[in-house]
Amino acid sequence: MSQQQISLPAKLINGGIAGIVGVTCVFPIDLAKTRLQNQRPGQQVYKSMMDCLVKTVRSEGYFGMYRGAAVNLTLVTPEKAIKLAANDLFRQHFAKNGQGLTVVKEMMAGCGAGMCQVIVTTPMEMLKIQLQDAGRLAAQQQKPIMASALKQVATNPLLSRSYNSGTIAAIATPPAASATQIAKELFRTQGVQGLYKGLGATLMRDVPFSVVYFPLFANLNKLGRPSADQSSPFYWAFLSGCTAGSAAAVAVNPCDVVKTRLQSLNKGAAEETYSGVVDCISKILRKEGPTAFLKGAGCRALVIAPLFGIAQVMYFVGVGEYILDNSPLSVLTP
């Protein structure tokens, strides 16, 4: 193992760039994940990820798939920077005795990174979920209206012409939402804690995720090293990040479902409200069964795999070091 002094500013830059690139690539899948997780039995608007994306484009346009992307892109820079840099710092701290890192110490470093990132993750997810789920709620509310309108279309030639021109179909288009307005309203009515609703569920998701992800990535990445003093090639870092990310994402998906439900402020007709994590888990189990905790698992794996694959490549390439005019570091090569 080679241990060098960490350039924290460079690592923050690397994490931020990695987050922006990754989120831009996978955000539409993340939107589908949120909408699928919030669906209740008997009130399903979308049948699958592809069905969700197709219906979103039809009703909201191409950029409808990027609802909430602005707030995510704004906050993902500090979020990914904190997560990746904190893990490096904890790993360096635990390796000070020169004896190397055991799996337990790697898990402890991941745990520390997960606990640090929720400072940014919780408000980011809170705002993003409101924007992402707005289209689902609008589509759910419009279903009875559209059914009634189409029934009238069948018997009224005038309405039929209006429908063919797109006038009636336009009522299914959801109104635009603003992250700034949501944030201001939450702050006005609930204070800072309004932006941190679901903090416990976010910790419950992100800490185990980091505990699984970082040790798994480190050990997978180690397999691609040509020798003890050489780093793995970039494609191996990408594959290791994808594999570790998808495994960790599926492992904590039940926690992600709970977090998504708790952070959804607006509910559809007859949808449950939850008073906390325990109440949410209990109601989901009783009314939807254990399989409900796997909703969006495929989407989440598809989001996290390339997101962390890209993140690790950008992070270990050392873009931050190059920007700061330093040679790229092989920081605490696992």
Written as tens digits, the pLDDT of the chain (334 aa) is 344 455 677 777 777 787 788 888 889 999 999 999 988 887 788 989 999 999 999 988 988 899 888 888 888 778 877 888 888 889 888 887 767 788 999 999 999 999 999 998 899 999 888 888 888 888 777 655 444 544 554 555 544 554 454 444 444 444 555 778 888 888 888 888 888 988 999 999 999 999 999 999 999 999 988 877 777 888 898 999 999 999 999 999 999 999 999 998 887 777 788 989 999 999 999 999 999 999 999 999 998 998 888 878 877 777 777 777 655 544 433 3
In the chain, the N- to C-terminal Cα span, in Å, equals 7
Its domain, for residue 300, covers 8-323
CATH number at residue 72: 1.50.40.10
28: tokens are 């539409």
Residues in the chain: 334
Helix, strand, coil tally for the chain in percent (to 5): 75, 0, 25
**What does the alpha-carbon distance between residue 243 and residue 241 come to, in Å, rounded to a whole number?**
6
Specify if 175 maps to a domain. Answer: yes
Specify if 2 maps to a domain. Answer: no
Specify if 112 maps to a domain. Answer: yes
**What does the alpha-carbon distance between residue 5 and residue 162 come to, in Å, rounded to a whole number?**
68
Specify if 334 maps to a domain. Answer: no
- Cβ proximity of 255 and 297 under 8 Å: no
User: What's the structural domain count of the chain?
Assistant: 1
Say what the pTM is: 0.78
Q: Give the 3-state secondary structure of residue 235.
A: helix
Specify if 295 maps to a domain. Answer: yes
**What does the alpha-carbon distance between residue 39 and residue 78 come to, in Å, rounded to a whole number?**
30
Specify if 218 maps to a domain. Answer: yes
